[in-house]
Amino acid sequence: MERVPIPTETYKLGFIGAGKMAESIAKGVVQAGVLPPSRICTSHSNPNRCSAFESFGVKILPRNQDVVEDSDVVVFSVKPQVVKDVVLQLSPHLTKKKLLVSIAAGTKLKDLQEWAGHSRFIRVMPNTPAAVGEAASVMSLGGAATEEDGDLIAKLFGSVGKIWKADEKLFDAITALSGSGPAYVFLAIEALADGGVAAGLPRELALGLASQTVLGAASIVTKTGKHPGQLKDDVASPGGTTIAGIHELEKGGFRGTLMNAVVAAAKRGRELSQN
């Protein structure tokens, strides 16, 4: 069967699940001018969640079924443990004319497609920096999703950060790196700030310097395209303070520990997806 193209200029977007991630994506889409809020809708039983969406003009509909019927692109942004029940419940309304998207961690395309009754599905793994427009997202296309469908979703999620396309078999590793990665970086920022306090800095100054330093360093990597090893060498002058600090990090197994964290998280992701 020939797939009906999504009308790029007039399509409507619906969110099944109105949590923080859905809010971040919807807000980013509106702020970037990708869609007006009048063409976005969701539904939720919690008045506070509804108010969050209504605050920037998104329509609130009575039921999830209404959201599906009103939308050309439907994003499932519910918790992984309920996504099966939600997709199955709505499957009679999930026609092949609709492009379906899931951001539920650990839920595979083959299962989503089976529950929905067709394979015009795209799986996306965003991360929490979507809340500030700096997400690292990855998408994988289902069997019936077209390249045009992929372009549309890339534009949507590109409004809240950067997005890559990858084979779904890589998603456990992607989740371990970009999904869990913000927590590793938060830990590093806290540790840097603690080091500053230990060296005599006031707590507020230490935390501000640590967070801005991490932000600045990441920006140099993304904007210059230089290898981080080269950038590290540029900072570490012979016999200086930086190389003394790096020496301590190496003695503590800093790089190996971070690598192990990603590998452990990927392993745990595989275990959870098999349950």
Token pair of 192 as six digits: 């840097």
Query: Beta strands 13-16 and 59-60: pairing type?
Result: unpaired
Has 19 been labeled as part of a binding site? yes
d(CA 141, CA 144): 8
Has 196 been labeled as part of a binding site? no
Sign of the C-alpha dihedral computed for residues 214, 218, 223 and 226 taken in this order: positive
Token pair of 273 as six digits: 């997806």
* Residue 36, C-beta contacts closer than 8 angstroms, at least 6 positions apart: 30, 57
CB 68 within 8 A of CB 94: yes
Q: At what angle do helices 228-235 and 203-224 cross, to 10 degrees?
A: 130
Place of tokens 């790089």: 255
Cβ burial, residue 94 (10 Å; 0-12/13-18/19+): buried
Q: List Cβ<8 Å contacts ≥24 apart for 226-231.
A: none
CB 15 within 8 A of CB 77: yes
Predicted TM-score (pTM) of the model is: 0.91
CATH 1.10.3730.10 domain range(s) in the chain: 174-273
Has 150 been labeled as part of a binding site? no
Has 165 been labeled as part of a binding site? no
Q: Name the architecture of domain 13-166.
A: 3-Layer(aba) Sandwich (3.40)
The pLDDT tens digits of the residues spanning 115-143 come to 999 999 999 999 999 999 999 999 999 99
Has 105 been labeled as part of a binding site? no
Token pair of 161 as six digits: 């950060």
CATH 3.40.50.720 domain range(s) in the chain: 13-166
CB 119 within 8 A of CB 140: no
The pLDDT tens digits of the residues spanning 70-101 come to 999 999 999 999 999 999 999 999 999 999 99
- Find out if CATH 1.10.3730.10 is the number for domain 174-273: yes
Q: Please state, as a whole number, how many other Cβ atoms lie within 10 Å of the Cβ of residue 121.
A: 28
For the chain, strand residue ranges (E) read 13-16, 40-43, 59-60, 73-76, 99-102, 121-125, 135-141, 161-165
Has 16 been labeled as part of a binding site? yes
pLDDT tens track, the chain, 275 positions? 457 889 888 999 999 999 999 999 999 999 999 999 999 999 999 999 999 999 999 999 999 999 999 999 999 999 999 999 999 999 999 999 999 999 998 899 999 999 999 999 999 999 999 999 999 999 999 999 999 999 999 999 999 999 999 999 999 999 999 999 999 999 999 999 999 999 999 999 999 999 999 999 999 999 999 999 999 999 999 999 999 999 999 999 999 999 999 999 999 988 887 76
Has 18 been labeled as part of a binding site? yes
- Among 78, 24, 105, smallest CA distance to 268 is for 105
CB 175 within 8 A of CB 105: yes
